[in-house]
Structures are given as structure tokens and as C-alpha cells.
Amino acid sequence: MNIGDAAKQTQISAKMIRYYESIGLLPESMRSDAGYRIYRDKDLHVLRFIKRARNLGFSMEQLKELLSLWQDQERASADVKAIAERHVAELQQRITELTEMRDALNYLVTGCHGDQSPDCPILSGLEGVVTGKHCG
């Protein structure tokens, strides 16, 4: 099948498929006599694997490791688990950082009356200035 059909079946854009191929996540596709890319069921299987891993937030480097392990029938599941555990720890760190950002912003928003006054604790907070004034 051509790249458009592969894109439809995997819900990955043709541009991303070409990108994955260019960075070695997907083996170079076969070509038709006219030079068009041809994808087989095996390629679609790899693309679906990539999509699921990306949806879980794995980085490209992690994805390369996972693909290598997935394709290695001699792999140790402990190697796969280690990658997943590191990723969970990274996600937890990001969740902590996002929670802190949300809480800081909520604090600034709570101090804002949202009236017509030009004084704004949100802008002051972003500037790093603490005032007793309310947001206008």
C-alpha cells in the first residue's frame, strides 16, 4: 500500500511516517517502479507500536530502545520494565511540576478581583513583585 493508505490505517500522518523512516524508527520502505513508497502489513504493525508508545509519552530515544527490544526475541523483560519504570518516574516528576504551576497560578487568580482597576496581582506575580493590590 502507498503512504496515504498507511497513514489512514495507522492514523499517523504521511509526514510523520516519512520522519520515522528518516530517523530509523521504521525501516526504509520498498519503492515502486515509479519511486513511491510501498508499505507492508509488517510496517503497519511497527507504526501502530510507535503510535501507542508515543501516546504514552515515550521519548524518541526511549522508543528506539523499546523497538529494539520488541524486535529482539532474546530480550529480557527486565530491560523493558526498566525503561517503563524510568518513564513513569519522569511522568511523575512532570505531574509534580505541573501541579506546582497550577497551584501558583491559582493563587494569583484567586487574588484577582477581575474588576476595572489597573492594579493586577497576576501581572505583578509574573513580574515577581508581591503587592497587596487586587487585579483589575
* pLDDT tens profile 27-48: 888 898 898 999 999 999 999 9
CB 125 within 8 A of CB 108: yes
- Which percentage of the chain shows pLDDT scores above 90? 74
Q: What mean pLDDT value characterizes the chain?
A: 92
Of 19, 76, 84, nearest to 52 by C-alpha is 84
Confidence category of residue 132, pLDDT binned at 50, 70, 90: low
Q: 101-112 pLDDT, tens per residue? A: 999 999 999 988
Residue 136 reports pLDDT greater than 60: no
What is the value of pTM for the model shown? Answer: 0.78
Amino acid identity of residue 64, one-letter, is K
Q: What is the pLDDT of residue 101?
A: 93
Q: How far lies 37's CA from each of 11, 22, 31, 81, 128, in Å?
A: 17, 13, 5, 34, 54
Domains, the chain, with CATH or none = 1-57 (1.10.1660.10), 91-136 (no CATH)
